[in-house]
Structure 1
Amino acid sequence: MSAEGAFLKACRGQAVPYTPVWFMRQAGRYLAEYRAIRAKASLLEICRRPDLAADVTLQPVERLGVDAAILFADILLPFEPLGLGLSFAKGEGPLIAHPIRSPADVARLPEVGPSDGLGYVLDAVRTIRRALDGRVPLIGFAGAPFTLASYAIEGGGTRDFVTTKRFMYSEPDAWHTLLDRLATLVGRHLAAQAGAGAQALQLFDSWVGCLSPDDYREYVQPHSATALSLAAEGGVPVIHFGTGTSMLLEFMAQAGGDVIGVDWRISLDVAWSRLPGHGIQGNLDPAALLGPVPTLEAKVRDILRRAAGRSGHVFNLGHGVLQQTDPEHLRAVVDMVHEWSAAGV
């Protein structure tokens, strides 16, 4: 079976002869090939140039033998057509020039269509599909409403989400208006990526684990459901991913997604027992890739043992590849997963 068949079949919960594997942030600074391109172009320049985005997207496919490619882009790209301003300062991460701090800021947001100011992303999808030539499927992606809102309100990254939560609790009407706008935008953008050729989609809710279950249900779940429903109109499998979400899994599944991505803070078998009818993606700790190979082997075996050969498992990390990672460790994980899952280990 082709890698394309294994990944997409697993996303649909169908039987596969081996467990497919790919890695979040599999194109990144841990690869010398990526660093060579970044020495000549900024992150935003790579995103805006379909030829460079394609080159970077294909690097891990060729180097690691993964079963899927994921579009090289950034979840914050929609901030540009929204007029929020986006830049990346070295060592500081994303910076938002015009953060949202009041209901008036929300009211000023322009109406933005799914490809307005983001046509280069769809061009990149088309370019990458041609370059892949059927070797592996292409995953498109977008940021979830809560995670995007947290960046927009905080003005960049944060550890405590205090400004985000203050806005959420103090201005609930403006909060729901903001998340509804973001949900519609990213949901339609995901469907547009599928229309351009993406064969699966992932919604990244990287920071939603900072919320309690009750707050998730009240302030986030309806908007994630909107985004995922719109994304599903693309007609391809959808992965719903978050970190630190062990207390939210059932509610995330209710919001939508064919596959639920989980991190290392919950055992794979426990997560699966709580998510009947869904595939599972995960869930190796990215830091395990920094340790010795015997430890890595033991952790990979444990995840496969907990998956127990059930249909619907996509092997991945619980978050993105760390910059310090040795590419050969990732290549070894791909080989381990393929060999051991095929042998029923």
Structure 2
Amino acid sequence: MNRDRTIKNDLIVKTLLGEPTERTPVWMMRQAGRYLPEYIKLREKYSFFERCQQPELACEITLQPVDIVGVDAAILFSDILVVPQAMGMEVQLIEKLGPLLPEPIRQERDLKRIQVPDVHDRLNYVFEAIKLIKQELNDRVPLIGFAGAPWTLLCYMVQGKGSKTFDEAKGFCYQNPELAHALLQMITDTTIAYLKGQVAAGADVVQVFDSWGGLLGKKDFETFSLRYIRQIVEAVKEEVPTIVFAKGAWSSLQEMAETGAHGLGIDWCIEPKMARQFAGDQITLQGNFDPAKLLSPIPVIQSEVKQMLSAFGPGKHIANLGHGILPNVPVDHAKAFVEAVKNS
């Protein structure tokens, strides 16, 4: 594994590799973005994809939480839907309404509209942003790259928009399993090339987000999600530490641990003790503070963080939220969360 030993604060990398650290590291999913006034100013001037596709803007946004909140890692500012976009689908992101893919994939002929792209052509702006971020970070903290898991991307590509249940996407998989697997493999092949490109550009860690993995039962999670996540982890785990976060799919923690990933993200609906029993002792767990609890008074946040850290115990834990930070969280509450971890 190519390891950048020059990073001054490499707590997260060390923790993922099972090395001892002086304290628990901390970062927050969706830390670069919507709760920060500095980000909101840029949002008022530039569209979402302008922010993603202009490396200077993506760099500025990525660095904001490192400078303002004091987290132990930067995570690339981008979106999981840049992959379907690169594959040839139209993707719109409408502020406060979410994603819209106006021509979803529903039948075999729709697959002909998309392809496994040359990521260095279609997603080069991401790699340029990573190079710029690494330069500006100047080895202060590691940079986390990421991609959406194939199942979660299929959900959007078939449903055509966000959903709480993604019934149409699930129905597509049950009614057209061969078509679903063909699409999932195309997404997987694109994602492997994309993450390898992120690593080559300088990402120190990568995380695979399966936001909708919890919508599947255990058997279907294996069939439509984990078998593809396994391919991705296998392709990148020797190059950089790799984290898998499948929200709600706690019943498959053991199987996810067996992929060879270095870390598993967990949400707040499973107790750390139970997560550890499922995942085993060899893997790092990441999580699992309820993002809504950041709306609590600061003394409550501090107390809850202590309880969380105590429940996970020392070592093999990265403090994080159990999902992305909410847009209405006050910045000083986010800081209080980070400081509480650092001071424990």
Q: TM-score range by the shorter chain?
A: over 0.9
How far apart in 2 are the matches of 1:216 and 1:153? 17
Aligned partner of residue 79 in structure 1, secondary structure? helix
Percentage of matched positions with identical amino acids: 39
The answer for the alignment partner of 1:247 in structure 2 is 251
Name the aligned partner's letter for residue 325 of structure 2.
V
1:328 Cα deviation (Å)? 0.7
Whether the 8 Å CA contact 1:184–1:230 is kept in 2: the answer is no
Instruction: Indicate how the Cα distance of structure 1 residues 284 and 95 shifts in structure 2: closer, same or farther if over 3 A, else same.
Output: same
Aligned partner of residue 221 in structure 2, secondary structure? helix
1:273 pairs with 268, 271, 277, which one?
277
Name the aligned partner's letter for residue 271 of structure 2.
S
Name the aligned partner's letter for residue 51 of structure 1.
E
How far apart in 2 are the matches of 1:114 and 1:272? 37
Whether the 8 Å CA contact 1:140–1:200 is kept in 2: the answer is yes
Name the aligned partner's letter for residue 270 of structure 2.
I
Aligned partner of residue 93 in structure 2, secondary structure? strand
2:225 pairs with 212, 220, 228, which one?
220
The answer for the alignment partner of 1:343 in structure 2 is none
Aligned residues: 338
How far apart in 2 are the matches of 1:188 and 1:262? 26
How far apart in 1 are the matches of 2:64 and 2:258? 35
Aligned partner of residue 144 in structure 2, secondary structure? strand
TM-score by length of 2: 0.95
Q: Deviations over 1:227-278 (max 9, x none)?
A: 2222325x11001002112222122223342100000000112211211221
Whether the 8 Å CA contact 1:240–1:256 is kept in 2: the answer is no
Aligned partner of residue 72 in structure 1, secondary structure? coil
Q: CA RMSD in A?
A: 1.4
The answer for the alignment partner of 1:129 in structure 2 is 134
The answer for the alignment partner of 1:94 in structure 2 is 99
How far apart in 1 are the matches of 2:105 and 2:287? 33
Q: Deviations over 1:7-46 (max 9, x none)?
A: 1101111110011100000011211100111111011001
How far apart in 2 are the matches of 1:158 and 1:243? 15
Name the aligned partner's letter for residue 230 of structure 1.
A
Name the aligned partner's letter for residue 134 of structure 1.
D
Residues 181-330 of structure 1: pairs in structure 2 closer than 5 A: 181-233=186-238, 235-276=239-280, 277-309=282-314, 311-330=315-334
Structure 1 stretch displaced more, 100-109 or 300-309: 100-109
How far apart in 1 are the matches of 2:96 and 2:70? 30
Name the aligned partner's letter for residue 240 of structure 1.
V
Residue 140 of structure 1 pairs with residue 153 of structure 2: no
1:67 Cα deviation (Å)? 0.3
Whether the 8 Å CA contact 2:116–2:190 is kept in 1: the answer is no
How far apart in 1 are the matches of 2:110 and 2:258? 31
Whether the 8 Å CA contact 1:188–1:227 is kept in 2: the answer is no
The answer for the alignment partner of 2:88 in structure 1 is 83
How far apart in 2 are the matches of 1:122 and 1:315? 27
How far apart in 2 are the matches of 1:298 and 1:26? 21
1:106 Cα deviation (Å)? 2.1
How far apart in 1 are the matches of 2:95 and 2:197? 31
Unaligned runs of 5+ in 2: 1-5
Whether the 8 Å CA contact 1:3–1:67 is kept in 2: the answer is no
How far apart in 2 are the matches of 1:333 and 1:66? 10
1:3 Cα deviation (Å)? 5.8
How far apart in 2 are the matches of 1:163 and 1:116? 32
Unaligned runs of 5+ in 1: 341-345
How far apart in 2 are the matches of 1:257 and 1:151? 25
Whether the 8 Å CA contact 2:8–2:139 is kept in 1: the answer is no
Whether the 8 Å CA contact 1:87–1:95 is kept in 2: the answer is yes
